[in-house]
Amino acid sequence: MTVTTEAPSIFSTRESQVRSYSEQWPAVFDTAQGSWITDEGGRRYLDFFAGAGALNYGHNNPVLKSALVDYIMRDGITHGLDMSTVAKREFLEIFEKNILTPRGLDYKVQFPGPTGTNTVEAALKLARKVTGRESIINFTNAFHGMTLGALSVTGNSMKRAGAGIPLVHATPMPFDNYFGGATDDFQWMERVLDDSGSGMNRPAAVIVETVQGEGGVNVARVEWLKALAELCSSRGILLIVDDVQMGCGRTGPFFSFEVAGITPDIVTLSKSIGGYGMPMALTLFKPELDVWGSGEHNGTFRGNNPAFVTSAAAIDHYWSDDSFEKATLAKGERIHDSFIDLSTRFDGVSARGRGMVQGLVFADSEKAGKVASLAYENGLLAETSGPSDEVVKLLPPLTISEEDLLHGLDILADATAVVCS
């Protein structure tokens, strides 16, 4: 009998042990198209993870691909820092025309560095600079990023410990429904803000996700968001909506806060704003907050022009009318129906979500992990989230076909049945 020992891969010998998704999904992936991703052995996986929300338009979307390749072929500028470029102008124009103007928004646009954590840092810096206050209110189970400013408003204790310094200047408040309705919304937050003896530092801003993805698909109700906006506005506290994961149509409308009819003071966008999965981020804010000095916040890759090109193409193609939003909401309903069905069939299973971010919640968190593993074995990528990884979180491409969507939901339903029966 011969034993073949596989040589350790360069991933294990050379890459830091900090990597995580590759542990969970050990395949070596190669190509991708739409909702499908293919490993080097040719095995295909239906991708209900979509770059953690960075691929709302699917992998290598042909509309964007064509614009991108044209741009590269004609030697359009790739790297532009914050120089004015034709590509940036076209992005700004279509963003203004298709996104801002129809929604009555007059935000200034900052290109803060191309990732989610960069735009969160810019937002926090600006809020502090404008108000002259240091403290920020964040929410339980928030996720905003890994650089020190963003990490200080992130909830996860393992990730916080990575800072190596005490993270200060942020105070967590209970996110919507933290106590299952047992307590009035904002009972604690309103009281400590208004009690001059509470010991709470007066905050510059509140930072909130309308739906907490990493936190376990926790959906803030419309009335909670409205009340939060009112609470901030009446007390001179800036409201930052971090729409890095939930913006760009994930919940239906372009901005996730539209459903609540509120206008945040500052909005962060990244992930799917570039359209094609390339790094890009925006910080949007009301014009009166534009107190930056020239160059006061900068960054080498804030002018990633190929991403401007694919972003403009995506916004032009998908956001000229409300059909994309409607389709997303319909697909979201479809997922939700399937999840409701599962929660009816199996004890300890429940569902929550908004638009096309949907979570299947397991009372026994181990089961969520088993379902995700089994789904992977059966060709479906879906990650878990929540403080105990108790939620199977679906973020399929918004562009997914009905057929693929149903196929993926079937895989998930079968896995759930196996694990929960």
Give the distance from CA 73 to its chain's centroid: 31
DSSP string for 373-391: HHHHHTTEE-EEESTTS-E
Q: Which of 89/345 has CB closer to its own copies?
A: 89
Q: Which residue in 97, 83, 129 sits closest to 266, CA to CA?
A: 129
Instruction: Check residue 53 and give left, alpha or beta (phi > 0: left; psi -120 to 50: alpha).
Output: left
- Does 264 participate in binding its own copies (rule CB under 8 A)? no
Q: Which of 102, 103, 105, 169 binds its own copies (CB under 8 A)?
A: 169
Q: Which residue in 394, 415, 398 sits closest to 331, CA to CA?
A: 398
Q: Which of 40, 288, 333, 366 binds its own copies (CB under 8 A)?
A: 40
- Contact characters 277-296, its own copies, x per CB under 8 A: xxx---x-x----x-xxxxx
Segment contacting its own copies (CB under 8 A): 85-93, 221-229, 256-264, 348-356? 85-93
Name residues contacting its own copies, limited to 87-126 (CB under 8 A).
88-89, 92-93, 96, 108-111, 113-118, 121-122, 124-126
- Does 185 participate in binding its own copies (rule CB under 8 A)? no
Q: Which of 46, 59, 335, 409 binds its own copies (CB under 8 A)?
A: 59
Q: Which two tokens stand for residue 93?
A: 């124009």
Phi/psi of residue 284, each to 5°? -110, 140
Instruction: Give, in order, the Cα–Cα distances in Å from 231 to each of 106, 217, 266.
Output: 22, 24, 16
- Does 68 participate in binding its own copies (rule CB under 8 A)? yes
Q: Which of 92/406 has CB closer to its own copies?
A: 92
Q: Which two tokens stand for residue 414?
A: 């079968």
Name the minimum Å distance from CB 208 to its own copies. Answer: 12
Q: Which two tokens stand for residue 77?
A: 């500028």
Name residues contacting its own copies, limited to 132-161 (CB under 8 A).
132, 134-135, 138-142, 145-150, 152-161
Name the minimum Å distance from CB 158 to its own copies. Answer: 6
Q: Compute the distance between CA of residue 320 and CA of residue 99 in angstroms, rounded to an integer.
A: 9
Name residues contacting its own copies, limited to 382-421 (CB under 8 A).
386-388
